[in-house]
């Protein structure tokens, strides 16, 4: 049996459905394409905006505003490194005194102030310089004189634990007497330069007319008081004028081992007068060094024994001479003196 013919309306409906489906796909494709395009445009636009923003940021970064400064608190003040280049930089309160010290040191290095050279030299160096200067002042003296003085006083002067005092006898005739006393005074000054008190000179006129015992007490008191006060050098002028019995006081002051003052110098002067005792020495104006000790011993033995033969026995005189004449020099006349 033949199938019935298809209904025209059903066919038409099928075609319409197919068409609608096709249109729907086309529409969807358009929408998808449009959406994709829109998204691409947006992405491109965002990228463009981002690049533009980056460029803008880069251009504006040098002109960015400085950070807001906090209120200043002196307790937490810090130094900005850029302040070193700031013309208005203020010095620290310590900068001025430090700068002053630096300038003072620089001036001292380039222009040193002259100081007392004695503070940089030893006592021995000073002593030698002074002795050399003194020797230049007395050019007429025999070289033996300076050797004896050096042995008697130089090493003694530099020590503080001497076993006995330094004793020096200066002798001369009447013509050279001013030279002798000038030299004795200057020797005492040199020895005393580092003592607490200057040298002292025993006044000769105070004891030459006294009784032996009074003269002895006077000498003892004067010499002891000066040494006790800090002086370390004494000059006893004109030993020949002291009453013979009063010279016994020098037993103690010039003692070899038991002297009360050991770090001192006792300088004696003796004016030698010619007489019967001097016949072996025809020329007292220029006595050779080999006769110095013998001539002085002979003169003192003669005068002390003649002045007081009862007290000044041979033993007494011998003991005294051993103490006061360990170092004897004979002084010649100098024409030009600075005393």
Q: For the sheet with 233-236, list strands across it.
A: 200-201, 233-236, 265-271, 166-172, 328-330
CA 138, distance to chain mean position in Å, is: 34
Of 4-13, 195-204, 254-263, 320-329, give the lowest mean pLDDT range.
4-13
Q: What is the pLDDT of residue 61?
A: 45
Q: What is the pLDDT of residue 160?
A: 84
pLDDT band, very low/low/confident/very high, at 94 (cuts 50, 70, 90):
low
The model carries a pTM of 0.65
Q: Pairing between strand 265-271 and 166-172?
A: parallel
pLDDT tens for 301-319 read 999 999 999 999 999 999 9
pLDDT tens for 3-49 read 444 444 444 444 444 444 444 344 444 444 444 444 444 444 454 44
Q: What is the pLDDT of residue 257?
A: 81
- HSE-up of 74 (CA within 13 Å, CB side)? 0
Every domain of the chain and the residues it spans: 124-330
Q: What is the pLDDT of residue 173?
A: 94
Phi, psi of 4 (to 5 degrees): -70, 145
The residue among 187 and 119 whose pLDDT is bigger is: 187
Q: Does domain 124-330 have CATH number 1.10.287.3510?
A: no
The residue among 162 and 78 whose pLDDT is bigger is: 162
pLDDT tens for 140-162 read 999 999 999 999 998 898 888 89
Q: What is the pLDDT of residue 244?
A: 94
Q: What is the pLDDT of residue 93?
A: 66
Contact assessment for residue 234 and residue 199, using Cβ atoms and an 8 Å cutoff: yes
Q: What is the pLDDT of residue 76?
A: 46
Instruction: State the first-to-last Cα distance of the chain, in angstroms, to the nearest integer.
Output: 184
Longest dimension (CA), the chain: 210
Residue 222: pLDDT over 80:
yes
Residue 250: pLDDT over 90:
yes
Mean pLDDT of the chain: 78
The residue among 31 and 242 whose pLDDT is bigger is: 242
What percent of the chain has a predicted confidence (pLDDT) above 70? 68
pLDDT band, very low/low/confident/very high, at 52 (cuts 50, 70, 90):
very low
pLDDT band, very low/low/confident/very high, at 181 (cuts 50, 70, 90):
very high
User: How far apart (Å, rounded) are the C-alpha atoms in residues 220 and 226?
Assistant: 10
pLDDT band, very low/low/confident/very high, at 110 (cuts 50, 70, 90):
low
The residue among 47 and 199 whose pLDDT is bigger is: 199
Residue 102: pLDDT over 80:
no
Residue 118: pLDDT over 60:
no
Contact assessment for residue 237 and residue 202, using Cβ atoms and an 8 Å cutoff: yes
């Amino acid at each position: 049996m033949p199938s019935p013919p298809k209904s025209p309306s059903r066919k038409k409906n099928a075609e319409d459905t197919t068409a609608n489906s096709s249109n729907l796909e086309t529409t969807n494709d358009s929408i998808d394409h449009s959406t994709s395009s829109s998204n691409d445009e947006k992405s491109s636009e965002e990228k463009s905006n981002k690049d533009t923003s980056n460029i803008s940021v880069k251009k504006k970064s040098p002109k960015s505003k400085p950070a807001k400064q906090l209120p200043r608190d002196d307790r937490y003040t810090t130094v900005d490194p850029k302040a070193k280049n700031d013309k208005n930089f203020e010095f620290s309160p310590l900068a001025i005194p430090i700068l002053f010290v630096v300038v003072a040191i620089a001036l001292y290095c380039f222009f040193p102030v002259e100081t007392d050279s004695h503070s940089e030299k030893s006592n021995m160096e000073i002593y030698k310089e002074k002795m050399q200067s003194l020797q230049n002042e007395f050019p007429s003296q025999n070289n033996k004189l300076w050797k004896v003085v050096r042995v008697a006083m130089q090493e003694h002067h530099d020590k503080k634990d001497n076993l006995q005092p330094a004793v020096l006898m200066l002798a001369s005739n009447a013509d050279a007497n001013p030279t002798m006393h000038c030299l004795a005074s200057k020797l005492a000054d040199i020895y005393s330069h580092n003592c607490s008190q200057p040298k002292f000179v025993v006044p000769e006129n105070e004891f030459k007319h006294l009784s032996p015992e009074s003269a002895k007490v006077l000498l003892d008191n004067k010499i002891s008081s000066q040494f006790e006060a800090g002086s370390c050098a004494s000059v006893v002028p004109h030993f020949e004028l002291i009453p013979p019995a009063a010279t016994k006081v020098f037993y103690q002051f010039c003692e070899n081992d038991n002297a009360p003052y050991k770090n001192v110098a006792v300088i004696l002067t003796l004016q030698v007068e010619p007489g019967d005792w001097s016949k072996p020495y025809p020329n007292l104006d220029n006595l050779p060094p080999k006769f110095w000790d013998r001539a002085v011993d002979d003169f003192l033995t003669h005068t002390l024994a003649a002045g007081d033969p009862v007290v000044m026995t041979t033993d007494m005189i011998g003991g005294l001479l051993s103490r006061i004449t360990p170092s004897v020099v004979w002084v010649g006349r100098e024409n030009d003196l600075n005393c």
